[in-house]
């Protein structure tokens, strides 16, 4: 398939056969899996996955790639011309008992907002395997009180187990990106490991805290909670955002009325 990579779509096409096989092997696909691919591009992963499952849906925003893939699609591949940032996962769930297995080589320029969009629909997700910029994967998997730990770490780990699976060099793509990539597996917690809280409140608290990460939480969260409430959570108001665990942020969010 001849196609000029389009910068506005952040296109870098995976072409390394060994990497492709390693990604597909990491999925441990079953024939009955309900698989959704985001950004199939030229079909590097698509045509490896399709023979392994009964049905595969793929979302492509580039009209030329959509048409090319549609013309080559086997009977079990359904290609949709759609912006993944606007997708409703419920549309691709075939039954209430079969959550989606989502896979994709995500454009780096939309990877973080896309992940947040998908996490808002986590009841429909069994797991997600994504190719992302290495630094983004490191931030997702980061431990508390490390330089990489931040808003993305907290919000993803609140809902999912994060596994950094595989490092991918720029030479695996065409055109070659200027950064290393990595494969991450995100598996939503089947049983919540944190107390339930309003996800919008949690997102607001975490965003405020890390937007001013040099400030103490007494100052960065002063419009949301006071010292007494912070102390009731067993925390020192002089702590900074990167020193708080996911559980700490959840507890603070539950204090807000």
For residue range 38-68, list pLDDT tens digits in order. 999 889 999 999 999 988 999 999 998 999 9
pLDDT at 140 over 70: yes
Q: What is the pLDDT of residues 191-250, one digit of tens each?
A: 989 998 999 999 999 999 999 889 999 999 999 999 999 999 999 999 999 999 999 999
pLDDT at 142 over 50: yes
Cα angle value 21/26/31 (rounded, 5°):
90
Model pTM score? 0.92
Q: Which residues are CB-neighbours of 189 under 8 A, at least 6 positions away?
A: 159, 160, 161
Residue, of 9 and 79, whose pLDDT is higher: 79
pLDDT at 1 over 70: no
Q: Which CATH superfamily is domain 199-255 in?
A: rRNA adenine dimethylase, C-terminal domain (1.10.8.100)
Q: Which CATH superfamily is domain 7-188 in?
A: Vaccinia Virus protein VP39 (3.40.50.150)
Tokens found for residue 245? 């665990």
**Could you tell me the pLDDT band of residue 112, with boundaries at 50, 70 and 90?**
very high
User: Domain residues of the chain, as ranges?
Assistant: 7-188, 199-255
- Residue 136: phi and psi, rounded to 5, are -70, -40
Question: Strands 100-105 and 77-81: what pairing?
Answer: unpaired
7-188 matches 199-255 in fold = no
């Amino acid at each position: 398939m001849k196609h000029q990579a389009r910068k506005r779509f952040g296109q870098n096409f995976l072409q390394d056969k060994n990497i492709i096989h390693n990604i597909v092997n990491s999925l441990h696909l079953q024939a009955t899996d309900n698989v959704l691919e985001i950004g199939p591009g030229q079909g590097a992963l698509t045509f490896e996955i399709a023979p392994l499952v009964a049905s595969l849906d793929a979302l492509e925003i580039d009209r030329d790639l959509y048409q090319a893939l549609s013309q080559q699609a086997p009977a079990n591949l359904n290609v949709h011309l759609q912006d993944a940032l606007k997708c409703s996962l419920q549309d691709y769930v075939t039954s209430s008992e079969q959550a989606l297995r989502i896979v994709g080589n995500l454009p780096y320029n939309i990877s973080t907002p896309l992940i947040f969009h998908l996490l808002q629909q986590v009841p429909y997700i069994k797991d997600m395997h994504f190719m992302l910029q290495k630094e983004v994967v490191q931030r997702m998997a980061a431990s508390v009180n490390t330089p990489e730990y931040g808003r993305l770490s907290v919000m993803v780990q609140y809902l999912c187990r994060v596994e950094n699976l595989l490092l991918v060099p720029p030479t695996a793509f065409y055109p070659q990106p200027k950064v290393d990539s990595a494969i991450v597996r995100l598996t939503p917690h089947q049983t919540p490991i944190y107390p339930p809280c309003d996800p919008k409140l949690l997102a607001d608290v975490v965003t405020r805290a890390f937007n001013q990460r040099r400030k103490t939480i007494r100052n960065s969260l002063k419009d949301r909670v006071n010292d007494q409430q912070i102390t009731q959570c067993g925390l020192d108001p002089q702590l900074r955002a990167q020193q708080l665990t996911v559980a700490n942020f959840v507890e603070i969010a539950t204090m807000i009325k």
